Structure 1
Amino acid sequence: MRSQHQQIQRLNVMSSATGEIVQEIDLRAQGKRGTHEARCVSRTALLLALEEELPRGTIRYSSKIVSIEEDGNAKILHLSDGSTLRAKVLIGCDGINSVVARWLGLAKPSDSGHTATRGRAKYPDGHGFEPRFLQLVGQGFRAGMVPCNDTDVYWFFTWSPSPDDKDVDKSSAATKQFVLTKLRSTNVPPQVLEAVERSEMNDVLAAPLRFRSPLSLPFASISKGNVCVAGDALHPTTPDLAQGACTALEDAVVLARCLGEALLLRTGDCAAEESHRVVEAALRRYADARRWRSAQLTGASYAVGFVQQSDHPAVGFLRDKLLSGVLAKTLLMMPDYDCGTLSSSGAC
């Protein structure tokens, strides 16, 4: 993964109203647990890397869960293709519209009031940009661009839609034109405009941003019996801290460790009921370990996005003059977290 994705060295936060850099941070700074390392990783590359670690045939595609039925301690999963699966343990990683989260009774994700679009610009002969993350704040939107490697640049744009924006997400062409119009009305660098213009139409997507209220997570039913949730099914969040996939990987490490320790402690050919109790206890430990971290991330991400995007004069003044450093450093503080290792000697 490191060989495919460039390490980002700096974060520059720019006011889109004035074009001035209001904060600059070294993304290689020393954290509590070592030197920070920031890279813009392709989702496809990450998924392929994870898939390669699994035995062939482990992943079953086009298998969306429609409903869950109980049969004793087992769970019967009814899939969209009409087939069924019988599960001794059910870990719901089925995204923001999770059927498993709904079965557990978790609060429905809330509308953040923001919409986001993103794209990838390709420079076949090389883009020549410095390894820095440029972030634009204010004027009612939040945007940014960051190189992924020598030829690809990722960009994003979030805003609070108005009634006049109702047709923006009707087509990728309309979305792209909307972003360019907004950016051209402000003091953004020309390379940002170029990156958006270079994006292929199928690379430009738009969607409303939703998140699970952090107030609901500390006491939420993250696990019940032999069922739990992880990833976006647990903590759907706005992308303002760029920690969605990272947090899902944290979930995976903690969950695997808790289950691994529980299975190692089982005594020989234990009865099915005892095995169920062992798994249930392991999932409870996982839930307890992840609920506060999940609440912290979803809350911080929403707060950062709200302040950085606001076009209110008072908020803008505080952001540019007083809070820019705090907001930028949050990007380093939140990932500076140790979820432990997969070693069975660690605690959940």
Structure 2
Amino acid sequence: MRLRRTSITRRSRAMTGLVAGAVAALTLTACTGSAQDAENENNGDDTPVAAAGSNDEAGDSVTIGFSAPAADHGWMAAITNNVKALEDEYPDVDLRIAEGTNDVNLQISQVETFINDGVDAIVLLPFDGAAMTPIALKAMEAGIVVVNVDREFDDPNAARVTVLGDNYGMGVSAGQYVCEQADGNEDAIVAEIAGIDSLPLTQDRSQGFADALAECGLDVDARQAAEFTVESGEEVAANLLQAEPKIDFLWNHDDDQGVGVLAAIENAGRDEFVMVGGAGSANAMREIQDGSGVLKATVIYPSTQGADGVKLARLVLQGKAMSDLVEVEVPRTVQLYAPVVTSENVDQYIDSAFES
């Protein structure tokens, strides 16, 4: 069945969000500069400006708790591993990392322990954002800074800062890449292998993809949903390839399930189409570097979100800001960018990519 869903409002918001996300992503990593730069930013007025270059200097000692789901997926494992990598980077941070769990009740118990221990901040990637909202509110009411990562709470008051990837933007980036490669061919056949369809993140990715394709006169001709696993990716891809004798472009939402998708493609002996991945695994990037297969690009969904959350919690607790901004406080929401990785820029991203 052919799908065509066009939303001018969503597209406009996506383009605005992508620009804002790019700025936010840059400021997360570009927190250094000279004191003179900060003075110049002030332009002679009385607005206080965070001292540029001070963010990585030691500040007051702080205790930060971190909790995330189980590392049963390459991307999720990278989330926690990137947080652990900060332990030696900041001697002024006592980082307490709870064991990853997909049990909501256990994760609630972990946060309660952090509250009872009197930590200064909690960085939380919820297994279920709605279920974790009440305990996050309790932490905030106790005066603990909460940073919400990736899966949003139901109540914005449950977090001081929210760090997000850009699921809709992922779809937009993938769709724009397909449009560029189609180069005006409105008869190109586009297929999509999504993740878990009941998740808002999957719905957002698909909507962004459809909206971007509509800009160049394309739509999704065949779509099936998998479950973000290697096994489901292989099964769903095999079914799709059997049902579709010709495909020009295939977008797979997730590089972990993409391991199975690529296996199904190889087993089917299909190579007539261009495949785009999602999330940005090192496995996918090595395939892109090799260049001999169908996978030619992947769209980043940053696995740095947890580590970014810890860094932002530290800044809030130490009274610092993001020093490239004139704003003297850390923003309430930071959305990271979803760039497309191809053979032309893969070297820029592969060192920080996660293993599927």
- For the aligned pair, the TM-score class normalised by the smaller chain equals under 0.3
Instruction: Give the TM-score taking structure 1 as reference length.
Output: 0.25
Does 1 or 2 have the higher relative contact order (CA < 8 Å, sep 6+)? 2
Looking at secondary structure, tell me which structure has more helix per residue.
2
Decide which structure has greater strand share.
Answer: 1
TM-score by length of 2: 0.24
